[in-house]
Structure 1
């Protein structure tokens, strides 16, 4: 509301530019579709994604969403609506039946990024921000990005070396050739594969040989001095903690190629 000497006025529609507008609008959308959220509707501001298992079910879901919009006087632009598609681009990702991949337009932007950065700190932050958005699709992201993160430290001399160009190339290549992530299926067995290096740990969650999720993180200065088998064990603990919501009480297989750790885990207590 806006109070003036001529009276008190209230906006009829959401104005642009107000700091609280995005969160207020998000609250409105969540309130509108509260009964459908996470059942067959996902909402991010004015982007509404409706997902269904069959065409008949989808038409019923569409009718429900249209009715909710009408009840709350929300207007849809037909030119911006895509109906009954098997493929949707949503928030930087392409969603298809059973799998998720990066938006090709975003991948093209990363692919065309120069491998030797002239305005280094600004361009480097931009590049890491772009590829970091897709870190869930890049195996061992933090291991690959480590030389570039080191370059951004205050103590760095910002001298560009061949290893930095290799890191940019490897990150670009990993995203350009990123494997589609498959949607998690609680009815299928789970396999976790881990990896540890001097500076980072990483893991992949698979079902029937297909990747469902990738995770990685940098090692702290203290953890970088751990023995190799402890770093491998830390990667396993990290993965199990990260994906515990998927696992519940289900049996999970962990694969590791570290011989010492394998023998240690097989020892009787």
Structure 2
């Protein structure tokens, strides 16, 4: 999924539209000879799936492949696809509308159902794969920011892990993410008892503030006058690095992403120079 996001960043489009196929799995019939493999018993009666079931580990791959094959056969315009979610882009609303219309026609012909409520755009701002997109820039949606900002402190390990899962999805937007949330990971370890102390409270509030003020990432720009700049730092608790692009007239440029992690094994005993090399290598 990250690869799709990186590719979409490189488009720097002005307009977008998304298409979410309705009940995509259930649009795919199972071969009659395979149906007994999906038999199950409920309330004493045996049933079997006749359509591709949700929850089976191979269903997403099969569904993605069949939709991709249909789009290729129909010579669909440029797009990105993740299972049953599709996005198209362009420089004008008319261009995007025509691309979306063509893709919908191909999908309908292939036997997939499209609901009007599942088609969004053309629009200059849109959500795709849970991310807000505008001018090729990746942003945290405001409803996600508000949800995280309103979260109460965890009261046990499971709640802490759930919180880290939510904020961790946006870690590329947060400088020094690993260092900030390190106290929270400490209380989730099996060997440690859950103890919510001052360090955890500070880390919890700080990461929420960082989410609220997170910057947009991208777009990825090409050209001889665009300079890629890698910033690295060897912190006390681990290396951090960020990638920026600078175009003529820009003082600092635009960030493409922030990364960080803790030291592993003997890395904490590296010399300052070795730690800087480690950050650049990562």
Q: One fold, TM greater than 0.5?
A: yes
The match for 1:126 among 148, 151, 162 is 162
Check conservation: 1:92, 1:106, Cα contact below 8 A: no
Which position in structure 2 is the counterpart of 1:85? 123
- 1:77-116 to 2 correspondence within 5 Å? 77-115=115-153
Separation in 2, partners of 1:204, 1:43: 28
Q: Which runs of 5+ in 2 are unaligned?
A: 1-31, 38-47, 247-252
Partner of 1:226: 270
- Alignment: residue pair count: 231
Query: In structure 2, do the counterparts of structure 1 residues 147 and 221 end up closer, same or farther at CA, with 3 Å as the change threshold?
Result: farther
Q: Secondary structure at the match of 2:199?
A: helix
Question: 1:237 corresponds to which residue?
Answer: 281
CA spacing shift, 1:230–1:132, aligned 2, 3 Å: same
Structure 2 counterparts to residues 1-269 of structure 1, below 5 A: 1=32, 2=35, 11=50, 13-34=51-72, 40-115=78-153, 117-118=154-155, 120-187=156-223, 188-208=226-246, 209-238=253-282
Pick 1 or 2: higher relative contact order, CA cutoff 8 A, min separation 6. Answer: 2
* Native 8 Å contact 1:30 1:37 kept in 2: no
Q: Is the 8 A contact 1:201 1:231 kept in 2?
A: yes
Shift of 1:129: 0.5
- Distance between the aligned counterparts of 1:170 and 1:104, measured in 2? 18
Superposed CA deviations along residues 184-239 of structure 1, whole A, max 9, x for unmatched, are 1122211111222222211111112211111222210210111222212211121x
Tell me: CA distance 1:202–1:35, structure 2 relative to 1, closer, same or farther (3 Å).
farther
Does the aligned pair in 2 maintain the 1:145–1:171 contact within 8 Å?
Answer: yes
Instruction: State TM-score, norm by structure 1.
Output: 0.77
> What is the TM-score normalised by the length of structure 2?
0.74
Q: Distance in 2 between matches of 1:34 and 1:148?
A: 46
- Is this contact kept in 1: 2:76–2:103, CA < 8 A? no
Cα distance change of structure 1 residues 175 and 34 upon mapping to structure 2, 3 Å threshold: farther
Cα gap change, 1:34 to 1:199, in 2 (>3 Å): farther
- Quick check: 1:143–1:201 contact (8 Å CA) kept in 2? no
Structure 1: gaps of 5 or more residues: 239-269
| Cα distance, 1:34–1:201 mapped onto 2, change above 3 Å | farther
Q: Partners in 2 of 1:39 and 1:127 — Cα distance?
A: 39
1:135 Cα deviation from its structure 2 partner:
0.8
| RMSD of Structure 2 on Structure 1 (CA) | 2.5
Asked whether the 8 Å contact 2:77–2:103 carries over to 1, the reply is no
Matched residue of 1:182: which SS? coil
Q: Bigger shift: 48-57 or 102-111?
A: 48-57
Q: Distance in 2 between the 1:39 and 1:220 partners?
A: 46
1:39/1:148 Cα in 2 relative to 1: closer, same or farther (>3 Å)? farther
